[in-house]
Amino acid sequence: MKKILTIFAAMLALFTGQAMAQRCLPGMSAVEVKANMSDGFYTGNSRNCGYSFGVYYSVFKGNANTWTFGGEYLQTYKPYGEKGRIPVAEFTGEVGYNLHLLSDYSQTFHLYGCVSALGGYETVNWGKSVLSDGSTLHNGDAFIYGGALTIQADFYLSDKIALTANVKERFVFGNSTGHFHTQYGVGVKFIIE
């Protein structure tokens, strides 16, 4: 048992030194998948909350800063009547710059601040202007544009995989259903050499 523990400790010591030298180098890239809650905590019965899913591609620059390109699907709901709700979906593309703010000595934890621009399309009630009770919606589908501010923390499990947590404030214009969405969630980042 002592031999196994000694070998395990030696392997950790060797791999730890190697891992610090192989993270966030210029030219490396990553693919990240995110899942977020929007405007509160979403459950199947929530009337004014939502969720989002996104896929992003990042390229590392000097000092662990990154450029990020991706797409996101955001689904929110607007309360209607006593128990009803109207779905609002946004399909957006995003380009952003992640500024490295903080990291620990072992390069296991990284904190980023991000500014990004986005554009896409919003659909209200999937394009149906007449509701089930005969009412007519005055909000319609629209092309949207805007930006986002994000704080993101990356926790590296290995040189190739990191777990992420983020808080994001989106602001979009061109629509009539609301301009601001607060999102928070988690993701997984896969590092590509």
Q: Residue 38 forms beta bridges with which residues? A: 50, 183
Residue 159 belongs to domain with CATH number: 2.40.160.20
Domain count, the chain: 1
pLDDT at 8: 60
Q: How many residues does the chain have?
A: 193
CA 91 to chain CA centroid, Å, is 14
The pLDDT tens digits along the chain (193 residues) read: 677 667 766 655 555 544 444 788 888 999 999 999 988 776 666 677 889 999 999 999 988 899 999 999 999 888 777 777 888 899 999 999 999 999 988 889 999 999 999 999 999 888 787 777 767 777 788 999 999 999 999 999 988 999 999 999 999 998 878 788 899 999 999 998 7
Domain span at residue 66 reads: 2-192
Residue 46: the pLDDT is 65
Q: What distances in angstroms separate CA 68 from CA 39, 54, 158, one per listed residue?
A: 23, 12, 21
CB 68 within 8 A of CB 58: yes
